[in-house]
Each structure stands twice: as structure tokens, then as C-alpha cells.
Structure 1
Amino acid sequence: MSEYISPVPMPALDATAPEIYRDYYGMPMFVTIPTRDLAASKDFWTRGLGFVDLFSVPDRLTHLRRWAFQDVLLVPAEQVGEVPAMSVSFACVLSQIDQIAARCEELVPGCTSGPREMPWNSIELTVVTPENARVVMTAAQPLDPRSARADDLRAIGIEVPTE
């Protein structure tokens, strides 16, 4: 097996989330989300979803981040026209799912659905943000290589170690 270089920890019941990554890099992926209220959106994303404001250009842009390679740019809706509905998924660890759901529900009651167990061995929480973005917080579950689920994953071509 090659060296594991992802910022996402290996699945385990006691997995610990990595620290917020504050250094700068060439972003391999990010989303740009138009919003009608930049301050309210920034507040929701930071207090609810656990992002930090990496930097802001007042009234023009807020660059948010959680872990490395989890970047979101919030921009005023006027910069891109009508506010579209969009969806994006961010990795997290199992212990964060309920915390994120509780924080988001406190800020915007009724904005979450789940968490639910998915066939690809993850637990997912769906959050609809104030700007109508669908954010899926997804946490991989530990996998017993002798389990029926491991056999099911192998049957569809997903590589799962046997021990």
C-alpha cells in the first residue's frame, strides 16, 4: 500500500479530526457559492459547519476552509446572477456528525436531514444552508474485512482488504 497522504483520517470509531488547515496552496477543488447575505452565510458556515474565515474582502468575497482541500468561496449573489441551488460534500469524522447537526439546527431549525447510513459505508448528514446550498457532511465508517458489508463492497469492485 502506498503512503496515506489524505487530510482525512483513516476510518475508526475513535478517529480524531485534523486541525483546521490555514496555510495557502493551489486549491485542487473548491466551490463558489453566491449569497444574498454575505455576513449571515459566513456566520452559518463558521459557527454551524465549523469552517474558518481564511480571509475576506469586505462586501466581495469570503474564503472559508475546514481541513486541507475543503475550500468554499462565498460571494455576493449579484456577482453571478441568480442564486442557484448546488450540492457539495465534505469529509468529516463520525464524532462530528451529531455536533454539526445540532449547531446547524440551532442556527436554522429544520435545515438538516439525517444522519443516514449509506451503502458505500459512510454516515451522511445533509444540511441546506441559508443560500440554498446542499452540503453533505460525510464520515467513513470503520470496516471489518470479514463482514457482510465488506463482501458486498468487494462484489461491486471496491478493494477491501481481507484482513
Structure 2
Amino acid sequence: MSDFFNAFEMGPVSERGPKAVAPEVFRGIYAMPVFVTVPTSDLAASTDFWVRGFGFIELFSIPGQVVHLRRWAFQDVLLVPAEAGAEVPEVPAMSVSFLCVLSEIDPLVKACSELVPGSVTGPRDTPWRTRDVEVITPEGARVVFTAAQEFDPDSQEAHDLASAGIFAPGSAEGGHNGVHG
């Protein structure tokens, strides 16, 4: 018995692969359950990169203090002024990942590569059936966009995940294993 259960309906995209459609940008105001704060020495340039490169919108800003960017619901980024003299790390130690759909990967690679040549690594396919692209932003943030590929419950990837106790949705083992809540 596993404590894991299929809850894809909780996310903004329940479809995997090339048929998946990106949800609209979410413009509502909510208590953000998680967000990323990115210090930058140039709020305008960073805002331009995140908007034109990644497809975020500027939800609102307080001049010189913060720019609140949003993509899908719960994909929030706050750009804030960096401390004077702060250095941009050459290779960021940590990254932040955002869910996307496959049809967004190629345009994102193209846009970011045009805005900052050499900033993009990938795309690459992972053993857990995602296609990932990594971008180092002008302010030194490592941002990964990850899109779910089609998933074959009879594939080697499915068997590898099952050996870790994670079963494919729709498989005999992938039921709810009782009540979860």
C-alpha cells in the first residue's frame, strides 16, 4: 500500500504531452502559498526579460520597491532591488521550477536565447517523462521550465516509478489506496 495517490486534478494542467493546453494567466489576488523573490540591480530590465522571455505578466508594481510578476495561478515572482554592490552569482546554487506545457518549450527557448544569448540549456528529457529547459536570468536566477510528456503506464519509466511506490494513474495499483484527504 502506498501513501501516494493520483491528484493531477489539483494542478492547472491535468493533461500530459502535446495535447496539454496552458491555462490563461491568472490575474486574481490571493494569499500566495509560495513565491520566489529575485533581487535585481535593474528592475526594468529584469521585468522585460521575465515578461518577454518567460511569458509572465506584470501584475502590479511599486516603483523602485517591487514588481509582482505572475504566470499561472501560484506562479508568482517578486522582483526586488538588490543591495548596492551585490554580485550576480556565476552559477546559482539553487533553482526554481515552473510547470509549463510542451508547446511552450520551443518559444521560450527562442525568446530567452534572443534576449540573452547563451542563457539557455536544453531542452532535455528526464527519466520521469518531462522535458525541461534551464535558463540563467540576467540577475543570476536558475529557472527551470518543465513540461510533462505523454506517459505510457507500461513503459520502463512507469515500472521504475512503481518500484519507488509511485504508480501510474489508471493502473490497478494507482487507485486511491483508501481515503486520502
The bucket for the TM-score relative to the shorter chain is over 0.9
Change (3 A) 1:153 1:2: closer
- Of 106, 124, 130, 1:98 maps to 106
Instruction: Determine the structure 2 residue equivalent to 1:74.
Output: 79
Check 1:102–1:157 CA distance in 2 against 1; reply closer, same or farther (3 A cut). Answer: same
Aligned counterpart in structure 2 of residue 133 of structure 1, from 138, 141, 146:
141
Q: 2:48 aligns with which of 43, 47, 61?
A: 43
CA distance in 2, matches of 1:63, 1:123: 27
In structure 2, the residue matched to 1:65 is: 70
Deviation at 1:2, TM superposition (A): 6.0
Q: 3-state SS of the aligned residue for 2:78?
A: strand
Percentage of pairs with the same residue: 57
Report if aligned partners of 1:9, 1:17 keep a CA contact under 8 Å in 2: no
Larger radius of gyration: 2
- TM-score normalized by structure 2? 0.83
Taking only aligned residues, the RMSD between alpha carbons, in angstroms, comes to: 1.9
Q: Which runs of 5+ in 1 are unaligned?
A: none
**How many residues are matched?**
163
Rounded to whole Å, the distance in 1 between the matches of 2:24 and 2:146 is: 17
Provide the TM-score with structure 1 as the length reference.
0.92
Partner of 2:27: 22
Give 1:67 shift.
0.2
CA distance in 2, matches of 1:82, 1:108: 18
**Structure 1 residue 5 displacement after superposition:** 2.5
The reply on whether 1:89 has 2:94 as its aligned counterpart is: no
Q: CA deviation at 1:9?
A: 3.5
Alignment check: 8 A CA contact 2:13 2:21 kept: no
CA distance in 2, matches of 1:27, 1:62: 15
SS in structure 2 at match of 1:138: strand
Q: Residues 145 and 109 of structure 1: is their aligned pair in 2 closer, same or farther, counting only changes over 3 Å? A: same
Q: Specify the code of the residue in structure 2 equivalent to 1:154.
A: A
- 1:149 CA drift (Å): 1.8
Q: Aligned-pair distance for 1:14?
A: 1.2
Runs of 4+ in 1 over 2 A off after TM superposition: 81-86
Q: What are the superposed Cα offsets for residues 119-158 of structure 1, whole Å, 9 maximum, x if unpaired?
A: 2221100000000000000011120112222112111221
Which of 114, 122, 131 is the matching residue for 1:123? 131
Measure, in 1, the Cα distance between the counterparts of 2:159 and 2:122.
26
